[in-house]
């Protein structure tokens, strides 16, 4: 891919991108994350780091160009704690739409959006991808880091039901694998959720060991603040290890490479390439 085989588009010259397209490669990956509180033990950029590292590793192995990570997402409930930044969902949809339109304008035919902000970004991202696919015919997809290897979590976890949530065993493990210097496990405390709830609601319904009906009922910022106090996490990060994080990371990268191959095999006929400055 040129430039010491880096998968990152922003580390290449524009001519190298043109050479990439001229060689028959027509796919790009766009990582999207969030800047939000992840308890006292993890960095606020974890979700962006997750998308960033997963997209980088899959792009490197599959020979696919990766565009710079979009660090901000839709995370209004986490505004309950200091430092979080949220976009409006329609803003996220518009930004991702403009990025995809720019790529299609230059000749890309396939784009995979990698979401590191588990589930919460999905609605605005899926709207962007769906609308652009209907409008252009391009092969566009969304891969969620928290969903694509959801079945593998059961093999990796060691906490009992209630141990997964936000800044939990699995997310803290992934952070220890990616950025151990940014994780302070001395500040990690168990905040296990109810292992036998009547319902599982909201965005963070990611514990496969909890047997309960799942539906979307978002908390207000005030409700969420009252629930999490000054801790900011749910689940149990105290059993996090780099080894669990690596196992999860590799499972996600492997699945993303599978999606890359699936999208590469789709027939595509881009019938419209509107630039963001055109109607």
Q: What is the domain partition of the chain in residue ranges? A: 3-264
Token look-up 């803003």 returns 91
Token pair, residue 230, equals 């000054």
Query: How confident is the prediction for the chain on average, in pLDDT?
Result: 93
Confidence at residue 215, expressed as pLDDT on a 0 to 100 scale: 82
Residue 177 pLDDT greater than 80, yes or no:
yes
CA-nearest of 107, 95, 101 to 17 is 107
Residue 205 pLDDT greater than 80, yes or no:
no
Q: How confident is the model at residue 242 (pLDDT cuts 50, 70, 90)?
A: very high
Confidence at residue 278, expressed as pLDDT on a 0 to 100 scale: 84
CATH class of 3-264: alpha beta
Q: How far apart are CA 115 and CA 147, in angstroms?
A: 10
Q: How far apart are CA 11 and CA 210, in angstroms?
A: 43
Per-residue pLDDT of 209-222, as tens digits, reads 888 888 888 889 99
Q: Angle at the Cα of 261 (from 260 to 263), degrees rounded to 5?
A: 65
Per-residue pLDDT of 117-163, as tens digits, reads 988 999 999 999 999 999 999 999 999 999 999 999 889 999 998 88
Backbone angles phi, psi at 166, to 5 degrees: -130, 130
Hey, is 147 helix, strand or coil? coil
Per-residue pLDDT of 14-39, as tens digits, reads 999 999 999 999 999 999 999 999 99
Confidence at residue 2, expressed as pLDDT on a 0 to 100 scale: 53
Q: Angle at the Cα of 88 (from 58 to 256), degrees rounded to 5?
A: 15
Q: Which of the 8 DSSP states describes residue 194?
A: P
The maximal CA–CA distance of the chain, rounded, in angstroms, is: 57
Percent of the chain with pLDDT over 90: 78
Confidence at residue 279, expressed as pLDDT on a 0 to 100 scale: 67
Pairing of strands 110-115, 139-144: parallel
Residue 3 pLDDT greater than 90, yes or no:
no
Confidence at residue 98, expressed as pLDDT on a 0 to 100 scale: 98
Q: How confident is the model at residue 70 (pLDDT cuts 50, 70, 90)?
A: very high
């Amino acid at each position: 891919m040129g430039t010491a085989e880096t998968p990152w588009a922003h580390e290449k010259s524009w001519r190298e991108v043109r050479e990439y397209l001229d060689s028959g490669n027509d796919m790009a990956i766009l990582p999207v994350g969030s800047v939000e509180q992840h308890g006292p033990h993890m960095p606020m950029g974890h979700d962006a780091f997750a998308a960033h590292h997963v997209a980088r590793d899959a792009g490197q192995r599959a020979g696919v160009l990766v565009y710079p990570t979009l660090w901000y997402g839709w995370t209004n409930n986490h505004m309950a704690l200091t430092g979080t930044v949220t976009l409006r969902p329609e803003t996220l949809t518009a930004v991702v739409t403009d990025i995809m339109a720019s790529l299609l304008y230059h000749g890309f035919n396939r784009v995979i959006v990698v979401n590191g902000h588990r589930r919460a970004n999905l609605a605005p991202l899926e709207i962007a991808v769906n609308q652009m696919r209907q409008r252009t015919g391009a092969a566009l997809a969304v891969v969620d880091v928290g969903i694509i290897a959801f079945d593998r979590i059961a093999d990796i976890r060691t906490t009992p039901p209630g141990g997964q949530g936000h800044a939990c065993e699995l997310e803290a493990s992934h952070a220890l694998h990616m950025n151990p210097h940014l994780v302070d496990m001395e500040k990690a405390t168990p905040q296990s959720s109810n292992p036998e709830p009547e319902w599982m609601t909201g965005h963070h319904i990611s514990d496969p060991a909890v047997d309960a009906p799942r539906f979307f009922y978002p908390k207000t910022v005030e409700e969420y603040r009252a629930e999490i106090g000054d801790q900011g996490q749910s689940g149990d990060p105290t059993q996090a290890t780099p080894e669990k994080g690596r196992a999860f990371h590799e499972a996600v990268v492997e699945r993303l490479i599978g999606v890359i191959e699936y999208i590469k095999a789709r027939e595509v006929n881009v019938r419209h390439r509107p630039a963001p400055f055109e109607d």
